[in-house]
Structure formats: structure tokens, C-alpha cells
């Protein structure tokens, strides 16, 4: 992001993220209001509103946190894979540390491993007060596009 809070994604990266959000996840990322703020193979940052993504008790739904984590880990993995390759999530785990009831959560995916056939990302989700909400890990398989 730049100093004005605007996204600094280039056009190819923006197009790839759009493909993942609308085609790869069938619009789920858009439905949850996930906004990608920064993206590279090594690091992806996104935010998502709590409102509209809660469970019956009014707190952020753990499944929404997992969707956020898998979305941004998949973006990083796709950028690592490059043109002509696809990425598929094969394992995700998440520990939910505390609840969020308002505002936004911000997720940062950091590449742990970037290989020829697998990638792994650690995703840390925090609230507006920078308190850790969730820690997740995603592993993706990389394949040649059919």
C-alpha cells in the first residue's frame, strides 16, 4: 500500500487476484469482502470486515478466518507458480486465539516454503488493535496447467 492507503498492485497481479477471487473461489472471497492490499510470492496482505462474517454469537466466524487465510495463501502460491501453472490447497490448519466483534481483520501470509511442487504459507490474522486473532498454515500443490 502507498502512503494514502491505496493498493499498489500491478495490473498482472490484480488480474490474477481477480481470477482467484471470482473463478477459483467461485466468488467466495468477494462475498466475504476480502480486499487484497499487497501481493507477491513471498508476502500477501489482505483485510476483511468482521460485520457480515460472524457466527450466531456476533463474533468472527472461524470459517471466515480460514477462507481469508486460504485465499491469500493461494494468491501467494499462484504468484510463486507463475504462468502456465495452477495451485491447489491441499492442507490448512488454524488456531483461533481470540474473537473479533467489529471493524476489520488483517491477514499477512508469509511464504515458508516455495518449491517446484509445493508451497507453504503462515498466515497471521489480527484485529484493528493489532491483536492476534488466528494463526493458520496453508500448503498448496503446484501443477502444470492442463
* Backbone angles phi and psi of 51, in degrees to 5: -60, 130
Whether 38 is catalytic: no
* d(C-alpha 116, C-alpha 139), whole Å: 13
For residue 21, CA distances in Å to 4, 51, 55, 56, 127 come to 25, 19, 22, 26, 22
- DSSP assignment of 79-104 equals HHH-TTEEEEEEEEEEEE-S---SSE
The single residue of 70, 91, 102, 122 carrying the catalytic annotation is 70
* 3 state DSSP class of 106: strand
- Contact (Cβ atoms closer than 8 angstroms) between residue 72 and residue 80: no
- So which residues are the catalytic ones? 70
Amino acid at each position: 500500500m502507498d502512503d494514502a492507503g491505496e493498493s499498489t498492485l500491478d495490473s498482472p497481479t490484480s488480474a490474477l487476484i481477480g481470477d482467484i477471487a471470482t473463478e477459483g473461489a467461485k466468488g467466495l472471497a468477494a462475498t466475504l469482502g476480502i480486499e487484497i492490499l499487497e501481493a507477491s510470492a513471498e508476502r500477501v496482505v489482505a483485510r476483511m470486515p468482521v460485520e457480515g462474517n460472524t457466527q450466531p454469537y456476533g463474533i468472527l466466524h472461524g470459517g471466515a478466518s480460514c477462507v481469508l487465510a486460504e485465499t491469500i495463501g493461494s494468491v501467494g502460491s499462484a504468484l510463486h507458480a507463475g504462468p502456465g501453472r495452477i495451485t491447489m490447497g491441499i492442507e490448512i490448519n488454524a488456531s483461533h486465539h481470540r474473537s473479533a466483534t467489529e471493524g476489520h481483520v488483517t491477514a499477512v501470509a508469509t511464504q515458508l516454503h516455495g518449491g517446484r511442487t509445493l508451497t507453504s504459507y503462515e498466515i497471521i490474522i489480527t484485529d484493528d488493535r493489532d491483536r492476534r486473532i488466528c494463526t493458520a498454515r496453508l500448503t498448496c500443490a503446484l501443477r502444470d496447467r492442463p
